[in-house]
Every structure is written in C-alpha cells, then in structure tokens.
C-alpha cells in the first residue's frame, strides 16, 4: 500500500508538471523531454513522496520498496511514452476506426474512406518528422538516410526478422 | 535474510519474470504458429506471462505473506507494472508491424543511393496504406465488409481511439495532428 501511495503521489505530481509545460510551450522533441520530466523529476521529487508516505503513517520505506517504487515509475513512464507516440502523431488505423464508427450502422464505402485518407497525408507528415529529427536528409530530389545511429529502428527490425522470424515489411 | 525481505524481493522480481515469460513465449509462438494472427499470438503470450506473475505471488504466500496483503500487492503494484511492461512490448512489436517510419527506414536502408520522393509516394501511397489497414482489421474481426460498405464489428480499437482523442484534447488542445 505504501508503494502504491508513493507511486500515485509521484506520478500525479509529474503529470501535472508535464501538462503545464505542454500547455505553455510544446517541446520540439516531445518524447525525450517527457522521459526527462518523469525519470529525473521522479528522482528529484522522491524526498517529497517520502514525506507524504510518512505523513500518512506508513513509516520509512525499505531500500527494496524504493526500488519497487522506481520500477513502477519507470514502467508506467515507458508505457506512457510509448502511448504518447499515438498522441503526438495520429494513428492511421485508429483514425479510420473512429471515422467508420462515426458513420454508424450505415457504414462507409471504400471511396469515402479513400477521400478521408487523402485529407490526411500520413506519409508526408512522417517524412517531415523524420527530416526535422535529422534521421533522413534531402539530396536534390532524393531522400537518403542521415548519419544517425537509428538504435530503436535497428532493434525493431532485428527483433522482427531475427527473433520473431517475420520477413515481411510492416507499415 | 528475513521473511519480509524475501517477500519484498519476490514482488520486486515478479513483473520482470512475467515479462521474460511473455517475450520468450511470444518469440516461440511466432516461430511455431506463424499462421496465427498478430493479436492472438500476443494475447496467448500475455496470458502465459500473467500465469508467471501469479506463480510468483503464490511463492510469496508460500514464504509467509498473508493472502490479503498478497492480493493487494498484485492488484495495486505487480499487476499494473506487468500490464505496463506488456503494453510497452506490444507496442514495440507493433512498431515493426504498422509503423510508417520503420517502413520508410527499411525502404531507405535497402536503397543506399536514396529514393526519389515521388517513387516513395508511389510505393507507399495513402490508398495502399488504406487497403493494408482495412485488410488487417477485417482479418482481426474489427471490421466487416459486406461487398459495398465497411462497418465496425468490435469496439476495442474505438475505445483506444477515444482514450487517445481525449488525451490529445486535454494535453495538446487539438483532436488531430492535421488540425490547423
């Protein structure tokens, strides 16, 4: 219970900091800033969480319990950052689902769905984001990979091909 | 080492043990049953991971923790941590399946001399993107197609979409990245 209360207190405070920051000025690289707020902010605010738990009469948390608090904060943060990708940029699949659901029992024809997708240039938006993050570059009329480590991309592709043995392209 | 310390350590390790079981069983199932749908493969592995989590909780009870305290730990801490880790892994797997950025990266990796923007658009236009997603959702049972129109069958993706819609409204003050 003490771990749960410490985590709830920390995450609520950190989310408020994140919300205020985002409403004042949206960072250019949102996910790294988000990670920084939750992980470094979590460390900075842990003495306040300690006082909070003590005020509620739970006494001092042990080292293992603090490690447990850290694991909960890290896993919730990672899940939130992963989910945040879909907040930052629209998911084509979820956009389609919401559009089809809005049509009700009448459903939608393929042409209507094509019109909907044509108004949402997902490929262009992703290319712009990759250019802004300097992961690709324009060379004349061509696009090439930039000098970027692509750690996450490499790991995703390696896992898909070598571990899961799925050779087909996603997307 | 005291009984309390052992119980605390078991709770600390339980979600990690469950995640290892999930990742390992998912890799094994992908190789053994490639014809299963991506969602079925993940759900089956997540259940196996969940069983691993429960096994760790039983060990904690065996060491001496009371059932009440154990259930509280499972519901408030260990369960949510495992859910977050499983969610993270599901999204990681889904990146390889559905991410447009990863697809662009793989296309460019295969063409070191670069790809003309028009060619890239031709390979991966919005129409192609639409058909891939409609087919994937029909196979997963999320949509039905009666020969002329598409209708929603399962509401699970809609629920996710609505949650994200509200998060966007609260955090960013907009509904879509294409809102001006």
Q: Is residue B107 part of a domain?
A: no
Quick check: is B130 in a domain? no
Q: Min CA distance, A88 vs chain B (Å)?
A: 7
Residue of chain A whose Cα is closest to the Cα of B88: A79
Residue A27: inside a domain: yes
Alpha carbon distance A39, B17 (integer Å): 23
A115 in any annotated domain: yes
Residues A34 and A57 in one domain: yes
The answer to the question of residue A130 being in a domain is no
Are residue A37 and residue A60 in the same domain, yes or no?
Answer: yes
Structure confidence by residue, pLDDT tens digits, B14-34 = 999 999 999 999 989 988 888
Q: Does the structure show a pLDDT above 90 at A37?
A: yes
Are both A100 and A77 inside the same structural domain? Answer: no
Q: Which domain does A109 fall in, by range?
A: 92-120
Q: Do B116 and A93 touch (CB under 8 A)?
A: no
Average pLDDT over every residue of B87-105: 80
CB pairs under 8 A between A and B: 237
- pLDDT for residue B180: 57
Which residues in chain A have Cβ-Cβ distances shorter than 8 Å to B33?
none
In B, minimum Cα distance to A135 occurs at B105
Same domain, A116 and A68: no
Nearest CB partner across the interface for A97, out of B8, B76, B152: B152
Contacts of A65 in chain B (CB under 8 A): 8
Q: How many domains does chain B have?
A: 2
At A122 the pLDDT is 80
For the beta sheet containing B143-145, the strands, ordered from the edge strand earlier in sequence to the opposite edge, are A108-109, B149-152, B143-145
Do B71 and B146 fall into the same domain? no
| Same domain, yes or no: B152 and B94 | no
pLDDT digits (tens, 9 = 90+) for A95-137: 899 999 999 888 999 999 998 888 887 877 888 878 887 888 8
Q: pLDDT tens, B46-78? A: 999 999 999 999 999 999 888 988 888 888 989
Q: Do A145 and B109 touch (CB under 8 A)?
A: yes
Give this prediction's pTM. Answer: 0.76
One domain for residues A7 and A82: yes
Contacts for A153-159 with beta carbons within 8 Å, 24 or more apart? A153/B101, A153/B102, A153/B105, A156/B92, A156/B95, A156/B96, A156/B99, A156/B102, A157/B96, A157/B102, A157/B105, A157/B106, A159/B92, A159/B93, A159/B96
What pLDDT digit, counting tens, does each position of A62-106 carry? Answer: 889 899 899 999 999 988 888 887 788 788 888 899 999 999 888
- The residue in chain A having the minimum alpha-carbon distance to the alpha carbon of residue B9 is A64
Query: pLDDT over 70 for what percent of chain A?
Result: 97
ipTM: 0.73
A15 and A36: one domain?
yes
Q: How many domains does chain A have?
A: 3
Residue of chain B nearest A137, judged by CA positions? B114
The residue whose two tokens read 């760790």 is B56
Domain boundary among B67, B98, B129: B98
What is the domain range of residue B163?
A: 140-180
| Residue A129 covered by a domain | no
């Amino acid at each position: 219970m003490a771990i749960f209360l410490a985590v709830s207190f920390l995450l609520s405070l950190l989310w408020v900091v994140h919300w205020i920051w985002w409403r004042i000025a949206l960072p250019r690289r949102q996910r790294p800033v988000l990670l920084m707020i939750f992980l470094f902010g979590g460390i900075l605010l842990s003495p306040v969480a300690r006082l909070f738990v003590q005020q509620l009469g739970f006494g001092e948390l042990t080292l293992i319990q603090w490690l447990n608090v850290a694991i909960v904060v890290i896993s919730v943060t990672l899940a939130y950052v992963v989910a945040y990708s879909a907040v930052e940029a629209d998911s084509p699949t979820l956009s389609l689902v919401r559009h089809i659901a809005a049509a009700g029992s009448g459903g939608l024809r393929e042409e209507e769905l094509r019109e909907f997708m044509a108004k949402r240039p997902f490929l262009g938006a992703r290319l712009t984001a990759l250019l802004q993050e300097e992961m690709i570059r324009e060379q004349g009329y061509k696009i090439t990979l930039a000098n970027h480590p692509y750690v996450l991309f490499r790991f995703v592709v390696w896992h898909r091909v070598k571990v899961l043995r799925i050779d087909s392209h996603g997307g | 080492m005291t009984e309390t310390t052992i119980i605390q350590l078991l709770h600390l390790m339980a979600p990690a043990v469950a995640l290892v079981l999930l990742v390992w069983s998912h890799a094994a199932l992908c190789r053994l049953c490639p014809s299963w749908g991506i969602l079925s493969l993940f759900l089956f592995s997540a259940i196996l991971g969940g069983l691993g989590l429960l096994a760790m909780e039983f060990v904690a009870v065996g060491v001496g923790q009371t059932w009440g305290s154990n259930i509280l730990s499972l519901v408030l801490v260990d369960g949510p941590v495992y859910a977050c880790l499983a969610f993270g892994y599901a999204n990681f797997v889904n990146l390889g399946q559905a991410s447009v950025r990863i697809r662009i990266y793989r296309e460019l990796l295969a063409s070191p001399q670069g790809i003309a923007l028009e060619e890239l658009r031709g390979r991966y236009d919005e129409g192609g993107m639409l058909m891939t997603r409609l087919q994937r959702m029909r196979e997963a049972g999320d949509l039905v197609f009666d020969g002329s129109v598409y209708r929603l069958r399962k509401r699970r993706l809609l629920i996710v979409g609505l949650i994200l819609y509200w998060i966007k409204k609260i955090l960013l003050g907009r509904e879509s990245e294409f809102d001006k």
